[in-house]
Amino acid sequence: MSSLRISDFDFHLPTELIAQQPPETRGASRMLVMDRQTGTLSDQLFANSPSLLQPGDLLILNDSRVIPARLYARRTTIRDREAPTGRIEVMLTEPQGENRWRALVKPGRKVAVGEILAFPASDGSVALEAEVLERGEFGDRLLQFAPTTDFFAALDRIGHMPLPPYIHRDDADTDRERYQTVFSHERGSVAAPTAGLHFTPQILEAIQSRGVEIARITLHVGLGTFAPLRVERVDEVHLHRERYTLSAETASAINKAHTESRRIVAVGTTTVRTLEHCALTANGAPLQSHSGSTEIFISPGFEFRLVGALLTNFHLPQSSLLMLVSAFAGREHVLAAYNHAVASQYRFFSYGDCMFLH
């Protein structure tokens, strides 16, 4: 791994292939199927995904729910005459305790420690207020929100869905439903676990009808999933921590499937990272229910302990997620598959098409 560079995971992607909208109908995406041993590719539809699963498979979903984490504030304690007076964009990134959040503030250069930000509602009233406690790099701030009856209800009222930076439009009302999986439950993500966006209740029912077991983990996706890697070598990569929960029911299902040599199918890279982190920390012992955080970085050379098949979307060039997929199926195979996807006009990234690697 030490000889690999970030640039070894580059590919040419025409901008017109970056999906700006979800497909008209959920579940109508295309799906590129890869045999990871041979690199053989097959162009299919996601609607056919139940047929690729086998009776006895354990399919694991990430049930994290995206919060409307993009907020707009006005400054109430401007101390610098040169400071901007327009609205301030605040993207919540990670909770740090009661009413306390890390956030990215833009434009953040002049927003100082001690300032009070007011978040107005549509009627002009102040829905939330926050004091800036700490200042970090690249617009990072620690915010302490004033106590409120229901913080998440206020977010639902004034917040916007945190669409990724490569979607060049404002969020719409429809994104509140489409940038959310149908099985989302636990609030906390600031980016969707996008491989799960393809599923409909009908497809999940068809999967269960084939004798496939379904279980859930929770990993709250942070903005680090889109952060550029500011290093040159793969062995220098360090990821942001993300919070996860492994329930007793899911731990038991994984242990049983692993013991019985049944295939564990991960839906999304977030699920892979959670499962493989838990397997590493268990060090061969049966998994136990717990909550924690992980910064596991998976790249070529990684030994997978649990995951036997993977459903995932197409990822950014030179990204940690592309490196994870390359670790699972081989860099040459994956880059060849991406070149095929580009040539075949697949739609890329969060609202795009998907791959099934087995």
* Assigned domain for 40 exists: yes
Domain boundary pick from 112, 131, 158: 158
Evaluate whether 242 touches 189 at the Cβ level (below 8 Å): no
CA–CA distance, 156 with 134 (Å, rounded to integer)? 26
The yes-or-no verdict on residue 225 having pLDDT over 80 is no
The predicted structure's pLDDT at residue 127? 95
- Do 240 and 99 fall into the same domain? no
* Assigned domain for 338 exists: yes
The yes-or-no verdict on residue 333 having pLDDT over 50 is yes
The predicted structure's pLDDT at residue 1? 45
Q: What is the pTM of this model?
A: 0.94
pLDDT, mean of residues 275-300: 97
* Assigned domain for 267 exists: yes
* Assigned domain for 1 exists: no
Mean of the per-residue pLDDT values for the chain? 94
- pLDDT tens for residues 7-48? 999 999 999 999 999 999 999 999 999 999 999 999 999 999
The predicted structure's pLDDT at residue 76? 87
Q: How many domains does the chain have?
A: 2
- Do 323 and 202 fall into the same domain? yes
The predicted structure's pLDDT at residue 226? 67
User: Distance between terminal CA atoms of the chain?
Assistant: 23
Containing structural domain, residue 110: 70-158
Q: Which residues of 205-229 are buried (b: 16+ CB within 10 A; e: fewer)?
A: ebbeeeebbbbbbbbbbbbbbbeeb
- Do 196 and 317 fall into the same domain? yes
The predicted structure's pLDDT at residue 313? 98
CATH of the domain at 234: 3.40.1780.10
